[in-house]
Amino acid sequence: MSGELQITVLTDAGNEHVTVLHLKGSLDSNTHKELESKADELIAGGTKNFVVELTDIEYMGSAGLRALHGMLNGVKGSGGAVKLLKPSDQVARVFKTLGFDQFFEIFDSVEEALASF
Amino acid sequence: MDSLEAATRKDTVEDRTRYLRKVSFLQHASDQVLESIATVMQFEIAPAGHEIVKKGDHGDTMYFVAGGAVRVHDGDTNLTTLGSGDMFGEIAALSPKPRTASITAEVDCALYSINQQLLYEVFDREPGAARSIIQGLCEHESNFAHEVSERTAQIHKFEAEMEIGRRIQKGFLPSMPLEVPGWCIDSYFRAAREVAGDFFDYFEVRSCGAMAIVLGDVCDKGVGAALFMTLFRSLIRSNAQSFDFTSDGNASTSSPTYDQVLGQTVRIVNQYVAGTHANDSMFATLFFALINPKTGELAYINAGHEAACLIAKDGEIRRLDSTGPVVGLFAEAKYGVENARMGEGEVLLVFSDGISEAKNELDQEFGDEQVVESLRNKTSAEEAVSSLVAATVDFAGTAKQFDDMTVIAVERHNL
């Protein structure tokens, strides 16, 4: 199970303190480094609040979950947060089974997600 | 870039011939041959990042690196780096074979190129040219064979190290049967690679008179997962059995509850890994049960693991679902303890996702429902394990095993 990952960075989604990452494709052992590099770059540039949109993620493997945890670790020290937006059914199931839904806030709309910071 | 181009463009045939004399590939060529090549070769600049040749393409040009450095690679895998005096592209230039690797400029590079037609014209004009090129190719081939031999030796050494790792890791799995009257255990373990992230364990917790059953699955695969597997397995066993002794090493006389042993063990393991190894983001799913061998009372924590199966005598299968998140990521995680009871003739079976997510040749998943189906009316641990493994292996067919496959089952005998 592997594929491509496309990452779109939106800094003008409606809250200047929050960067929205739209992910598309597969977040797995072949693609997780792309998310990690992008997040590291943004965090190094001062970003501390993220909304990660997961609607178009078709497959999430454990490497993807580790990447999201790494983002959370990266912003926690500066009081930042990583919140998730509209996970697909497969991703929502994985989050629930592994208990990730207890540690990441999950939203159904970008407006709600942005307003929660 | 400008200075590189300007400097190299000013060169004369004499300068180029002097350069070619330092190219080891042409060390057998006469001055006349070198001068002939120097006269027809073209100067090129390759800016940093430019892919000069692409693996699989057909080309008829070979190159000499006059300045800078190029990366020889196959996709993302770097094979070597070439610099001034090195040559590439000769296979495609001298044969109909496509490019065997990709070459990309690491920095701005100055190159001399010569295509097949111009090279053949040199061969026609200079009788010694072909012979010196053949000698150069033979030496190139000989060096390559030596390099392959050295790399093969390195691979063998690495494989021997992995084999040592595999044997040591095997020692982390229980090898002796757990001798508890009225109970028996069966298990199955097949790693997807030399070393595994899955583990299972069973041992006594004397302080509360229980037998412990553990199955863990560390995320990821290979060496990293294997290192964490040994950490998780050892932390769980040592923390659970720490209740057996007082601080001065004597047998403890206090008797903790099952909830205390399970809860404290998983909490300590989780906080240790989440705190000490936070930057690795490594985690394990875990099923950890304590069973009273006299009464069949069972208490468990399921930390993000596949629901275990409790196979009742009447064929019904009860699932023991998740009671908390994965272990090792979130220090503040809370784990619930749930209870069940195993009657005589009943079987508890725990499996890893390498079973339920096994794939066949069509990339279809075995699935949880098939796991349950294969366990219906199985009344012994041995029968349950062999039925589930046979169904999984049969489903997977010739598809490559993707993940570690682990099953452990415990059975309470009919008395």
DSSP line for B312-350 = -TTS-EEEE---B--BSS-TT-----EEEEPPTT-EEEE
- Which one of B281, B323, B402 makes the best mutation probe of the A interface by having the most chain A beta carbons within 10 Å? B281
Q: Do A102 and B283 touch (CB under 8 A)?
A: no
Q: Do B333 and A99 touch (CB under 8 A)?
A: yes
**In this predicted complex, what is the ipTM?**
0.90
Residue A104 distance to chain B (closest CA, Å): 11
pLDDT value at residue A2 = 54
Mean pLDDT for A92-98 is: 92
Query: Between A and B, how many CB-CB pairs are < 8 A?
Result: 46
Q: What's at A3, amino acid-wise?
A: G
Residue B221 banded pLDDT, cuts 50, 70, 90? confident
Residue/partner pairs of B172-176 with CB below 8 Å, 24 or more apart: B172/B199, B172/B229, B172/B230, B172/B233, B172/B234, B173/B199, B173/B200, B173/B201, B174/B200, B174/B201, B174/B202, B174/B203
- Radius of gyration (Cα) for chain B, nearest Å? 33
- In terms of C-beta density within 10 A (0-12 exposed, 13-18 middle, 19 or more buried), how is residue B193 classed? middle
Say whether residue B325 is in contact with chain A using an 8 A CB cutoff.
yes
Mean pLDDT of chain B: 92
Residue of B nearest to A62 (CA): B219
Mean pLDDT for A55-71 is: 94
- In contact, B37 and B20? CB cutoff 8 Å: yes
Q: Do A99 and B322 touch (CB under 8 A)?
A: yes
Please calculate the CA angle B229-B231-B236 and round it to the nearest 5 degrees. 100
Residue B152 distance to chain A (closest CA, Å): 27
What residues are paired with B218 via a beta bridge? Answer: B284
pLDDT for residue A23 is more than 60 = yes
Residue B219 distance to chain A (closest CA, Å): 6
Q: With CA atoms as reference, report the closest residue to B219 among B323, B358, B329.
A: B329
Residue B257 banded pLDDT, cuts 50, 70, 90? very high
pLDDT for residue B233 is more than 80 = yes
Secondary structure (3-state) at B190:
strand
Q: Do A67 and B325 touch (CB under 8 A)?
A: no
- pLDDT tens digits, residue range B320-359? 999 999 999 999 999 999 999 999 999 999 999 999 999 9
Q: Which residues of A touch B (CB under 8 A)?
A: 1, 29, 62-63, 65-67, 69-70, 73, 97-100, 102-103
Task: Give percent of chain B with pLDDT exceeding 90.
Answer: 76
Nearest by CB to residue A97, choosing from B279, B304, B363, is B304
Say whether residue B352 is in contact with chain A using an 8 A CB cutoff.
no
Secondary structure (3-state) at B247:
coil
Mean pLDDT for B370-387 is: 95
- Any idea what DSSP says for residue B256? -
Residue of B nearest to A74 (CA): B279
- In contact, A74 and A38? CB cutoff 8 Å: no
Q: Do A103 and B325 touch (CB under 8 A)?
A: yes
Phi, psi at B320, each rounded to 5°: -105, 95
pLDDT value at residue B5 = 60
Q: Do B304 and A63 touch (CB under 8 A)?
A: no
For the entire predicted model, the pTM comes to 0.80
Report DSSP letters for A49-82, one per residue.
EEEEEEEEEEEE-HHHHHHHHHHHHHHHTTT-EE
Secondary structure (3-state) at B157:
helix
Q: Do B281 and A29 touch (CB under 8 A)?
A: no
Secondary structure (3-state) at B164:
helix
- CB < 8 Å to A98, chain B: 285, 304, 325-326
Mean pLDDT for B245-250 is: 76
Among B25-34, B259-268, B337-346, B404-413, which stretch is predicted with the lowest mean pLDDT? B25-34
C-alpha dist (Å) from residue B58 to B16, B61, B81, B133, B221: 27, 10, 22, 21, 38
Say whether residue B330 is in contact with chain A using an 8 A CB cutoff.
yes
Highest average pLDDT, of B129-138, B178-187, B247-256, comes from B178-187
Residue B9 banded pLDDT, cuts 50, 70, 90? low
Q: Do A102 and B333 touch (CB under 8 A)?
A: yes
pLDDT for residue B226 is more than 60 = yes
The distance of Cα A96 from the centroid of its chain, to the nearest Å, equals 16
Residue B365 distance to chain A (closest CA, Å): 11
- pLDDT tens digits, residue range B45-63? 999 999 999 999 999 999 9
- CB < 8 Å to A103, chain B: 325, 329-330, 333
Say whether residue B377 is in contact with chain A using an 8 A CB cutoff.
no
C-alpha dist (Å) from residue B220 to A63, A95, B196, B303: 7, 17, 9, 17
Secondary structure (3-state) at B348:
strand
- pLDDT tens digits, residue range B270-282? 999 999 999 999 9
pLDDT value at residue B6 = 54
Q: Do A102 and B285 touch (CB under 8 A)?
A: no
Report DSSP letters for B123-145, one per residue.
HHH-HHHHHHHHHHHHHHHHHHH
CA A14, A36, B334, A85 torsion-angle sign = positive
